[in-house]
Amino acid sequence: MDLKKMCKGVVLAGGESSRFPFHKAFACIDGEYFYKRAVSCLKPAVSSVDLVAHPSIAHKLSDSSAKVIMDLSYIQGQGPLAGILTAMNSSEQAEWYAVITCDMPFMKTEIYDMLLTAAATTKGVQAVVPVVKECRQPLAALYHISCKPVITRVLSEGKRSMYSLLQNVDTKFITEDSGHWNPHDFININTPEDYSLYIE
């Protein structure tokens, strides 16, 4: 089964980037904006890519390989779950959603290929999440459309944590031993210090 045709990419461009001097989506690596790097990572593994962003930056995003969509108004500012739900509510729905946050510039397409293979070969699974050094990586993962009502419910309960979702759906966790990926691929650039350490 070729899940690529049934999978949409979701780049979570985020909101305020409070720990960075400017919005992280516009930080650069090798002369390329972080958000464009994220789109390029997902594009080979999926049928299409949505760039989900807060209205404050949505008008500044431009990528011919992706469709820019704004967070649903009633859940703006409620974190990554809101971004995923926004993508799942778009006019072009998919069966699976490959999610990446824009501050993971070292992420590789091959990792999503592995996650899609796991989804295709595991009956009934609703989420496929990497585990790196015993830390779950829910913002570099796959989510089935059946997660949509669960996300809606947990957000209505005031729960914004990705773990609120994972605790309520059938989740397959894949460790680096079976995934054979490099922990470096999952580094988040959250602060200017991270940027100086890993990129400059």
Domains and CATH numbers, the chain: 3-198 (3.90.550.10)
Confidence (pLDDT) at 20? 67
Mean pLDDT of the chain: 90
Q: Are 198 and 189 in contact (CB under 8 A)?
A: yes
Question: Model confidence over 125-184: pLDDT tens digits?
Answer: 999 999 998 999 999 999 999 999 999 999 999 999 999 999 999 999 998 877 778 999
> Residue range 53-75: average pLDDT?
84
pLDDT in tens, 19-53: 666 788 888 999 999 999 999 999 999 999 999 98
- The reported pLDDT for the residue numbered 34 is 92
Residue 24 is labelled as binding a ligand = yes
The tally of CA atoms less than 13 A away on the side-chain side of residue 160 is 8
42 is written with which tokens? Answer: 């997902």
Please say whether the dihedral angle defined by the alpha carbons of residues 159, 125, 105 and 54, taken in this order, is positive or negative: negative
Global pTM? 0.93
Closest CA to 133 of 170, 171, 197, 182: 182
Structure tokens, 174: 């894949």
Predicted pLDDT of residue 104:
95
What is the pLDDT at residue 55?
81
Residue 171 is inside which H or E element, if any? strand 171-175
Tokens of 147: 């997660």
CA atoms within 13 A on the CB side of 12: 27
- DSSP E strand stretches across 4-95: 7-14, 28-29, 32-33, 48-53, 67-70
From the list 58, 66, 75, the residue with the least C-alpha distance to 23 is 58
103 is in an annotated binding site: yes
Q: Residue 185 annotated as binding?
A: no
pLDDT band at 195, cuts 50/70/90? Answer: confident
- DSSP sequence for 134-163: TEE-TTEEEEEGGGHHHHHHHHHTT---HH
DSSP secondary structure letters along 74-116: GGTTS-HHHHHHHHHTSSS--SEEEEEETT-TT--HHHHHHHH
Q: Which pLDDT does position 16 carry in this prediction?
A: 59
